[in-house]
Amino acid sequence: MRIATWNVNSVRARLERLLPWLAERQPDVVCLQETKCIDEKFPREEIEDAGYQVALHGQKTYNGVAILSKKPIEDVTRGVGIERFDKDARVIGATVEDVMVLCVYVVNGHEVGHPRYDYKLEWLGALRDFIVDRFPMDEKVSVCGDFNVTFDDLDVYDPERWRGRILCSGPERKALTDLCETGLQDGLRPFHPEGGVYTWWDYRRRGFEQGNRGLRIDHHLLSPSAMACCSGVEVDFEARAGVRPSDHAPVIATLE
């Protein structure tokens, strides 16, 4: 099973990129973030014509997550079960065959010290509790999406420039590490221990075009049994190039 995660930064704006990508890469499951539309406006017909079933948790203009699958989607859940966190559409989970999939779009936080930064840390704590409660680590589990956090300096093109800043601050990284204390593991790092593999590049600074100046903030976190059958996790850099791309690249995990 090939599971992809991709922050598309508006599914309707990126549909002309998404549909050819689905046809070419043929992932079995796709977790989308920042769909930025209510469920009624999601391009369901086009996605279904491409061979995918759809589970949605949309929101007008902001946020929005979705799971696409070639196989039946079962046991769909939305949110983390806490009203103050679930007013935004940021979490959707489902079971596809023998894999429990959780698609997440983590709060950005704006900047260190901002009220949204504190909210982000609280949100990540709620996500951890939700995973402990609902996702047994003796099952195959993939928690994937845009986490808006780097694990460490290997995920940063210029660690000194980003030292202590949003996406790279110590408390954010600790919250991400705490998620992994549930039993989840960073799926990509064992296959790229040297680092320097990025998934997001700032539009404004033309980070992708000017020397691969990016961050790795999109992750596959895998349970032990999922990690044991994972043969690779790769970033599709080509999907970040070209005309009107998202600022994120897809990340694909292959479970044998």
CATH number at residue 95: 3.60.10.10
Please say if 105 is a catalytic residue.
yes
- CA 148, CA 27: separation in Å to the nearest integer? 23
Tokens of 202: 């700032």
| DSSP secondary structure letter of residue 72 | P
Helix, strand, coil percent content, the chain, rounded in steps of 5:
30, 25, 45
- Average pLDDT estimate for 50-75: 98
Under the banding of pLDDT at 50, 70 and 90, the label for residue 206 is: confident
Computed over every residue of the chain, the mean pLDDT equals 97
pLDDT for 141 equals 98
pLDDT at 205 over 90: no
Which candidate in 28, 52, 105, 155 is catalytic? Answer: 105
Q: Is the pTM of this model over 0.85?
A: yes
Report DSSP state, residue 153. G
Instruction: Tell me the one-letter amino acid at 60.
Output: K
Domain ranges, residue 153: 2-255
| Catalytic position from the list 28, 52, 117, 146 | 146
When divided into structural domains, the chain yields a total of 1
**Annotation marks residue 62 as catalytic:** no
